[in-house]
Amino acid sequence: MALRTLPVPDGLAGDRVDAALARMLGFSRTRAAELAEAGAVRLDGRQVGKSDRVVPGGWLEVDMPEERPAVEVVAEPVPGMGIVYDDDDVVVIDKPVGVAAHPSPGWTGPTVVGALVAAGYRMSTSGAAERQGIVHRLDVGTSGLMVVAKSELAYTGLKRAFKERTVDKVYHALAQGHPDPTTGTIDAPIGRHPSADWKFAVTADGKPSVTHYETLEMLSAASLMEVHLETGRTHQIRVHFAALRHPLVGDLTYGADPVLASKVGLTRQWLHAHRLGFEHPTTGRWVEVESEYPADLAAALDVVRGAYK
């Protein structure tokens, strides 16, 4: 992380922070807005947002993240990755566990992007080169539905839909114990964990995060939940249920019982992106698809339903 300190020129006085910063640093307004939204921009020592206004004679301080090294896309088929919807503009895939959405530093495993390239798909080139068509992500350890943009128009439309929260993202999760109330909303901000920056937690200064849930089936050791995301923070469902003291079965990172995980044969969290609905970015037609539980989750659920004592 490098600190840049910049005097505000008289000619930019009164401009929005994102517009002024883009002019001063020579990069896109979107990039400047992302820095402000991340809390990395201060005006005369006070943190400012992207729509705040700069003043003449003021000083902007910017925490500039280190540039990420280029990451190569490796075309590699992914066994078990299904295509559940496909047209000229979008493709919806059913992602298996153990697959990342796109290449990233330090990840050497399979990716959705690499699998689509290997299958001959042409995706949108908007965004970073290694993130061809990716408009949202699932954790490596989470299975289920993802929509990928093939055309530039679809990329723009889907990014807007996710930002405006018009995409219907429905997950099924198996939570330890019995959340009370059985139907409710978790409204708790999520940020980096204070002592382990590789995971997340409910924190006072985190980003607003809202999860709606409903109990589908109450079992002896756990509850099968249907979860609707209003926001899309990293690890949101896992963090929110852990905060309720009902972590997802198998989610050892967030406090799940290792004995229960072993009994049901899980090596990852019981979480599946079960249904995805969105307005098609070019036709306007509503598209809705569902995904069945993969074998490991189905088997674990059967154990909890019947054999677990």
Do 179 and 144 have their domain in common?
no
d(CA 106, CA 91): 27
- Statement: the pTM of the whole predicted model exceeds 0.85: no
Question: Is the confidence at residue 193, as pLDDT, over 70?
Answer: yes
Do 276 and 309 have their domain in common?
yes
Please enumerate in sequence order all residues whose Cβ is within 8 A of that of 296, keeping only pairs 6 or more positions apart, or say none.
97, 265, 266, 267, 268
Eight-class DSSP state of 238:
H
Do 181 and 107 have their domain in common?
no
Q: Given this model, what pLDDT does residue 31 score?
A: 80
- 59, 5 in Cβ contact below 8 A? yes
In the chain, what's the furthest Cα-to-Cα distance? 73
- 182, 215 in Cβ contact below 8 A? yes
Q: What is the pLDDT of residues 92-109, one digit of tens each?
A: 999 999 999 988 877 889
Q: Given this model, what pLDDT does residue 309 score?
A: 46
Domain count, the chain: 3
- 50, 36 in Cβ contact below 8 A? yes
Q: What is the CATH number of the domain that holds 90?
A: 3.30.2350.10
94, 139, 251, 296: which one is catalytic? 139
Q: Given this model, what pLDDT does residue 100 score?
A: 93
What sign for the dihedral angle of Cα 241, 172, 113, 135?
negative
Last residue of a domain, one of 164, 199, 215: 164
Do 170 and 296 have their domain in common?
yes
Q: Given this model, what pLDDT does residue 66 score?
A: 67
- Is 139 annotated in the active site? yes
- 161, 154 in Cβ contact below 8 A? no
Structural domain boundaries, residue 26: 2-64
What's the pLDDT band for 67 if we cut at 50, 70, 90? low
Coil, helix or strand for 144? strand
**70 located within any domain:** no
